[in-house]
Amino acid sequence: MQFVARDCYKKTGEVKEQINASLSTVMYTISKLKNKFTVVGCDTSAYLHGFQKGERYTIGCTSVCYSLRSVVDGPCSGVGCCEVAIPDGSNSISVEVKSFNNHTNVSNFNPCGYAFVVEQGKFNFSHHYLRNLSNDKLPMVLKWAVGNETCQEAAKRKKKIVCKGNSECTDYPTVSGYRCNCKSGYRGNPYLSHGCQDIDECENPSLNNCTIAKHCVNTKGGYTCGCPKWHHGDGRTSGEGCIADPLLVLKIAFVAGISLVAIVVVCSWFYFVIKKRRLVKLKEKYFQQNGGLILQQQLSSEEGSSKTFKIFTAKELKKATSYYDESKIIGRGGFGTVYKGVLPDNRIVAIKKSKTVDENQIEQFINEVVVLSQINHRNVVKLLGCCLETQVPLLVYEYVPNGALFNHIHKESITSTISLSWKTRLRIAEEIADALSYLHSAASIPIIHRDVKSTNILLDDDFTAKVSDFGTSTLVPRDQKQLVTEVQGTLGYLDPEYMLTNQLTEKSDVYSFGVVLVELLTGQKALSFARPEEQSCLAMYFLYALKEDKLFEILANGIADEDNMEQVKEFMKLATKCLKVKGDERPTMKEVASELDGLRKMEKHPWDNVESN
């Protein structure tokens, strides 16, 4: 236990208390690795003077801080507390503490400075110590040695050396004297007779490196490793180990090789036969489980369906996608992955591989496939066929080369380099509305898309819009206007009334389409947390801008000009109608399509700017 040096002042700057600390030893030196010279204070500089091998040295450490707010408790950080390593081999030290400003500028929270040598880990700094460090003494670690002679000097006088049997003498460069250590293979107290005892390395696998544990043999101060019969070598993992005799190796290798080849051939034949049978049975099982028989009956009863719709085999679609190679992926979504494929007749198709399918709704799935196969609308992606031989059915659609409308509006694809003009945006909006109107009112069984968004609108070579992704679509019986279902869709596009009531209607698609209209107008995403919080939802932001008469401030560049101002205004009004909170107040998709058709036919009249009486 070593004294703490301190340097205390009154508020006026007069010295109140000043104590230096010192230590002088003959047989011991201060450990460098176990101790630190530590200084505590906010206006403090401390020095440690000592001797190492007869030479004087001085080390110092300065700690400055201006308030307790900058002080961090725990290990010394340099603010309020600093520490440095001390030289090794010191046996005489003195510590003094000084102040820059007599603590007058920090006296309200730090009247004293402190300095001491302390064992590492035994002093944990706290800002409370700046007010008062009550410890008078702190622990310090000292190094010891036997005598003041080296091993060689002590060996000349055999009676003076204290290392006992199975031990060896060790010199330390920074300590006068020597120490004793047990020899390799022994453990115990080297200063006692019979204190160093042999270790049985074979009992503990971590103490030996024999390749075979049972061939380890303990010896005095070590061990040996043996090899089994017909083998030779040192038996150690760090050496050559155990090597089989050449002749034995040849015999064993020949017999084993012949046997192995025979076994592999027989097993492979059985494996491939069994695997093929299992694969055929599994395909049949999936085909029936996924409603293949029902689908065949339905298609045969529907006129024209069997001509354009095909039930593909799993092998055909694997080959078309190069076994579902990653490079063939053209889209990913919450419900599955879409691959680009090439059929044997060189037709390019899009193959949708869903993640899951509800076995309890297979019949409904088959009905939807039959209905979609009969949809023949230029603005709806054509369903060409399906595959039911896999655990999850695969759907085959026509391939639409220019990707999603989303990428072209928001420039998020390397292919979306063409800027969509107002005329093109208006045409795309009309085509989407026409497709949704067809699904709602002209299809054999009305269909609610349920996930209308710009990523589900694809553009072909001529930038003609095609509605896609009917993974969450719902068939609506003619005698029902609404369905109670679990809420599904995409945040930012979801109908708020549907979210609250779980009642899905055709007007839910109208709301989602209204968000797409606003995307076309503003060029902004439906939901973006990069925008301010009140603007994160595009639909709400649009309605707010409408209320504040700031609509033209949020339009995309190049949308509105003198020639199309009336069209843009009417387009805004239509988007506002679609975004009504109550579904009953929204127009039908048929009405929306009609209004957009009228907007496209609008032309700027030469008398528009003439005031009339």
Residues that are catalytic: 451
Nearest CA-CA partner of 427 in 410, 405, 412? 405
3-state helix, strand, coil in the chain (%, to 5): 35, 25, 40
- Report the run of H or E that residue 57 belongs to, with start and end: strand 55-64
Contact 296, 366 (CB under 8 A): no
Contact 86, 59 (CB under 8 A): yes
Nearest CA-CA partner of 377 in 439, 430, 446? 439
Q: What residue type is 232 in one-letter code?
A: H
Q: What residue type is 160 in one-letter code?
A: K
* 285: CB partners within 8 A, 6+ apart: none
Half-sphere exposure of 53 (CA within 13 A, CB side): 6
Instruction: Determine whether 275 is exposed, middle or buried from the number of CB atoms within 10 Å of its CB (0-12, 13-18, 19+).
Output: exposed
Strand partners, 272: none
Q: List Cα–Cα distances, 88 to 388, 400, 493, in angstroms.
A: 80, 78, 72
Q: How is residue 68 written in tokens?
A: 């307790």
Nearest CA-CA partner of 488 in 472, 512, 474, 506? 472
In 314-448, the DSSP E strands lie at 329-333, 336-342, 348-354, 383-387, 394-398, 447-448
